[in-house]
A and B are shown apart, each in its own frame.
Chain A
Amino acid sequence: MTKLEAVIQPARFEAVKDALIEIGVEGMTVIEVRGHGRQKGHTEFYRGREYIVDLLPKVKIEAVIPDAMVDKAVTTITEAARTGKIGDGKIFLSRIDDAVRIRNDERGENAL
C-alpha cells in the first residue's frame, strides 16, 4: 500500500476529487492548508493597508491506495490539477505497512 499526499490549488480540488473517484479511489482525507514552494508570496494592498501574502491557500488530499493503483492515481491527479502555472502543487508518495478498518478489524488492502 502507498500513502499519497497531494498538495494542490483549491480551485482544482473538485476536479481532482471527481477524477480520483472515477478511477476507484473513494476514501480520501482533505485538509485546508497554507504554504508555498517555488511560488513565493506577494504583497497586496486594500485601501492603503498592506497584506503580505506569503503563504498561499492550498488543499491537501491524503489517500492510501493499493500499490497497483499508484501510477494511475498519480497520472489522474497531475492531469486534473495541472494548470501549467507555478503553484500547481506536488504529490508525495510513501510506503504504508498496514491498515485496519475499525468497524470490523479487516486488515491490509481489504481495509482500504
Chain B
Amino acid sequence: MSSEPQPRGLSSSGSPIPNQPADGGLRNFYRQEFDRVHRDFVATGSGLAALSDRTRLVDKLALTLWEQHLPSRPRCGYALVALGGYGRCELFPHSDVDLLFLTEDEEKRDQIKEGVSSICQQMWDCGLRVSPSTHTIADCARLNQENIEFTLSLLDCRFLAGDRLLFDGLHEKKLPELIAREADTLLQALSSITEARHHRFGKTIFHLEPNLKDGPGGLRDCHVSRWIGMILALVAGNKPEVVGSSKNAAASAVLEAIEFLSSIRCHLHYRHNRDDNNVTWSAQEELAARGIGTGSGPLSPAEWMRLYFGHAKAVYHDSGQLLKQVMEGRSSLYRSFQHWRSRVSNSEFSVVDGRVYLQQAASARDAEAVLRLFVFVAKHGVALSAEAERRISEVHLRLVETMPQDQSLWPHLRDILTQPQAANALRAMHSLNLLTHALPEFEAINLLVLRDLYHRYTVDEHTLLAIDVLHQLKIDGDEVLRPFAELLGEVEHPELLYLALLLHDTGKGLEGSDHVYSSLQFTQTAVKRLQFPEEDARMVAFLVSSHLEISSTMRRRDIYDPGTVAELADKMGTPERLKMLTLLTLADIKAVNPDALTPWKAENLWRLYAATANHFDRSADIAGLDAGASRGAVERIIGLHPLRRSEILHFLDGLPQRYVLSHPAEQVVQHFRLSRQLATEVVQLQLQPHSGQCELTVVTTDRAGLFRTLAGILFGWGMDITKATAFSNSSGVVVDSFYFKDRFRTLEVNPSERECFLRSVRDILLGEAPLEKLLESRLRGDRQPVKLAVGTRIRHDNECSARNSLLEIVTQDRPGLLHTISSTLTKEGCSIEVALIDTEGPLAHDVFYLTRNGNKLTSEQMRDLEWALAGELSDSLPTW
C-alpha cells in the first residue's frame, strides 16, 4: 500500500473548512473538491490516494456541519464517529458515508436528534449518500444478533468530533470487552456471511464480468481478513493490526492486489457515476486500453482480465486460508471433523487440520507422487497445505519435464475425475499450472474470457464446474435432479463422461473456428496420446462432437413429436450413449450460470431422455444393418476381419440394429467366431469379467425355452442377474448375454468351480443333466428380505413392432425372478425373439419381444399371458 489508512480509533484526518460557506457554498465546495480528487486520480492512477483524499474531504465537511449544529464541548456526552469504509479512510468516490452519532445515554440521544437530522440533511444536499445511526454507548457494547454487521463496522470506528472521552470509553474498553466476549459468535457470523456471499457468486473468482467488491477475491474479502486479524488481536489483548491478514510471503501479493482492486473500483465509480462495482465488458475494454492497474501500459482485454484473476486469486486464497484456520481453531465440531479427516493420512500424505502435507519433501519432485496427491485431494476433499503448494511450486520446472502425458497419465486422471471432489483437485492442479502440462489441450481455454450473454465464468472454470455438477448430483437433494442422479449411477464408464466434459469446450480456445469441431480435434489428439482402446476413444469423441445435440433438439424441435425422438435415438445409436450425453448436457447447461438450468429446462431434458430411452426399448427388434449408425458399426466389425466379409454379413443378417450398436466391434467378431464353431460343438460359451461382475455369453442354435433354461441355471448357481440381452439371427443362431453378480463368490474363491460352472451350463443346455435338480435346493432356501418394495406393472404394446408383441414388466427384483418370468412365457407358448433385462437397485425392468407360433400374440393371448405373469409375480394384477 502506498498510503496506509490511519489506524483504528485515530482522530479525523481533516479539520473544519476555515471560512465556513453557506449551504450552497458548501455544496459547491464539495463538488469542486470532489472533481479535484477525480482529476488527481486520473493523473496518478492511484486508487488508495484517491480514497484518502476523499476521506479527508468528507471529514472537512462533516466537521464543518458538526460545528454548525452540535458544537463540541469537552464533556458534552456525544461524539461523531466514522464507521465502515469511511472509518478505515477508504472512501471510494460513490461509497456510502457511515456515520455513528454516539451518546452516553438516551437523554443525550434525544437532545441531539435535531442536530443529527440537520447534519445528515445537509450532507445529502451536498450529494453524499449518508448512512447515519445514533446509538448509546451501552447499545454499542451489546451484540445485536439481528445486526451483527453493526458490531463488525465498529471494528473500523474512527473518532471525528465531540466527546473524546466518550469515544475512548467505547474504543478502549467497551468494544475490546465485547469482542473478547463474543469473538466466537462474531467469527462464526463472519464465516456464514462470507460463505453466503461467495455462494451468490457461485464460489468462484472466474466470472466473465466480476464484481470487485462483493465477488470472491474482491475487496470485501480483504475486509474479512482485516476483521479477523483485529478480532484475534483484541481477544489476545493486543493492539489490532491496521491491515489484516497475512504475515507470510503471500502478504505482498495481497497488498498489491488491494492497490490494484482499489484503483479499479475508483475508476468504475467515476466511470458509472455511482457505486457500481461490476467490471463489465465495456469497462474491461476501457481499463485494458488505458492500462489501468497494469503498471506497464495498455493490454488486450483478455490479458488485462488474466491480470485481474491473478490479483483476485491472491485475495481469495489469503482470506479463505485465514478464515479456515480461525474456524478450525475455534469450533470443536469442526475440529472433530478435521480430526476424523486426519485419519485418512497414509504413508505418502498426512492430513492436519483439513490440509494435506507431503510426508517426504522429495515427493514433490516426483510427478507420479504429485498426481497421487491430487487423487488424494479428489477423494478426501482436503485442501493442499501452503507447504505442499510451496514445495510443488519450487520444483515446477522439473515436474513439467517429467509429467506423464501418455497412457501412464490416464490411471491418475481417471482416478481424479471419478472422485467426489474431482473439480477441486483439478482446480488445485490448474492453480499450480500443472493441469495444462498433463493435458496440453486445456491450455487453449486457460482463463479464457469469451463474451457471451449467458456464460458467467471463464471457459476453464465452466468446464470444472460442469464436472462438479455431476458429482454434486449424488449429494444434492434437489427433487428435479433426482432422476439424473439415478441415471448417473447407471453409467457403465463414468470416467469417459468426465473426460468428455473436461475436453468438450477446449475448441473455444481457437479463435474463429467451429468450437465443436476444434474440441473434437483436441479430443482425438488427447485420447490418441492416452492410448485409449478404440471403443473408449470413440465414445469420448462422440460425446464431445455431439455435446450440443440434445440442447439443440430441445430448443428447435418438438420434444413430444415421435419423429423428433426417433431421430435423436438414431443419432445416439445406443441407450448408453443417450444416458451419457443427457448427463453431459445437464452439466453443461447448469455450469453456464447459477440460473441457467431452470426446472423447466431440467424437466424438458428428462422428458426427452425418457421418451428416447422408451423408443430404444420399443424398437430393439428393428433389423436393417445397412441404415444410419449401424452401417458404420458393421463396417468397423468387418474391418477387423476383412477376409470374412461375406460370412460376417451372413452372421449379422437378421440381428437387430440394437445388437451391433450396443456391442463393441471386437465383441461381435468374437460372437461370430463362436458361431463358426457351432458345427463341431452346438453350445459355445464365454465367461469373462465385466465391470466388477461376470458376463456369460452363450452362442447356440435357437430352441424352445433356451432363455428360461439359462436364467434357471444361473439362479441354480446362486447368481444374481443384473442385465441380460437375447438376440437371434435369420439362421437361428442365438447370442444371449447375461451379466451377473456372483453373490456367494463361488467362481472367485474357487477357480476350479469356473470349469464346473461352464460344464453345468453346457450339460443342461444339451439335455445331459436336469435343471430341476440344480433348482431344488435354491428354491427351498433362497429368500431375501425386501428392503424397498416395488409394485408390479405389466404392459404390452402390439403396435410398436411389425413382427413381435412387446411385453414390459417392472417388478421387485428377487432371486430367480428372470427364471420365473421366462418359465411363464415358455408355458404360455411364447418364443422370446429379443430380451432386454435390466435392474436398478430393487427394481427389475424387463422388456421382451415375443411371438407365438411365429406370429404376434392376439389380444386374448396377451391378456392370458399377463394374468399368468401377475399370478406368478403375485402382488398385483396386470394393468391395461
Contact = CB atoms under 8 A, between A and B. Distances in A.
Interface of A: 9-11, 13-14, 32-34, 44-49, 51, 53, 56-57, 83
Contacts of A48: 793, 795, 808, 810, 843, 845
A46 B600 contact: no
Contact of B555 (A10, A46, A51): A10
Among B560, B604, B810, B845, max chain A CB count under 10 A is at B560
A57 B604 contact: yes
10 contacts: A11-B556, A13-B555, A32-B601, A33-B600, A34-B600, A47-B810, A47-B840, A48-B808, A48-B810, A83-B558
Interface stretch (B446-454, B606-614, B620-628, B703-711): B606-614
B554 interface: yes
B827 interface: no
A11 B607 contact: no
Contacts of A49: 810
A47 B793 CA distance: 9
Nearest to B810: A48
A42 B286 CA distance: 55
A18 B793 CA distance: 46
A34 B558 CA distance: 14
B554 A10 contact: yes
B610 A10 contact: no
Nearest to B561: A11
B603 interface: yes
Contacts of B560: 53, 56
A10 to B, nearest CB: 7
Interface string B219-252: 0000000000000000000000000000000000
A44 B612 CA distance: 12
A12 to B, nearest CB: 8
A45 B795 contact: yes
Interface in B720-741: none
A50 B679 CA distance: 48
B371 to A, nearest CB: 39
A109 B560 CA distance: 40
A33 B556 CA distance: 16
Contacts of A13: 555
Contacts, number: 48
Given A46-B610, A48-B810, A14 B598 contact: no
B181 interface: no
A32 B598 contact: yes
B557 interface: yes
Nearest to B553: A11
A45 B607 CA distance: 10
Contacts of A47: 810, 840, 843, 845
A57 to B, nearest CB: 5
Interface of B: 554-560, 598, 600-601, 603-604, 607, 610-611, 613-614, 793, 795, 808, 810, 840, 843, 845
Contacts of A46: 610, 613-614
A51 B554 CA distance: 19
B578 to A, nearest CB: 12
Contacts of A51: 607, 610
Given A53-B607, A57-B559, 20 more contacts: A10-B554, A10-B555, A11-B555, A11-B556, A11-B557, A11-B558, A11-B559, A14-B556, A32-B601, A44-B610, A44-B611, A44-B614, A45-B795, A46-B613, A46-B614, A47-B810, A47-B845, A48-B810, A48-B843, A57-B603
Contacts of A56: 560
B610 A32 contact: no
A57 B600 contact: yes
Instruction: Give 6 closest A-B pairs by Cβ, nearest first.
Output: A48-B810, A46-B610, A32-B600, A48-B793, A11-B558, A47-B845
Contacts of A10: 554-555, 559, 604
A67 B607 CA distance: 40
Contacts of B840: 47
Nearest to B614: A46
Contacts of B604: 10, 57
A84 B598 CA distance: 29
Contacts of B810: 47-49
B592 to A, nearest CB: 15
Nearest to A46: B610
B607 A44 contact: yes
Contacts of A11: 555-559
Nearest to A55: B603
A58 B808 CA distance: 32
A45 B600 contact: no
Contacts of B555: 10-11, 13-14
A56 B554 CA distance: 13
B767 to A, nearest CB: 36
Contacts of A44: 607, 610-611, 614
A8 B639 CA distance: 49
B557 A45 contact: no
A83 B563 CA distance: 14
A20 B840 CA distance: 48
A21 to B, nearest CB: 15
A32 B558 CA distance: 15
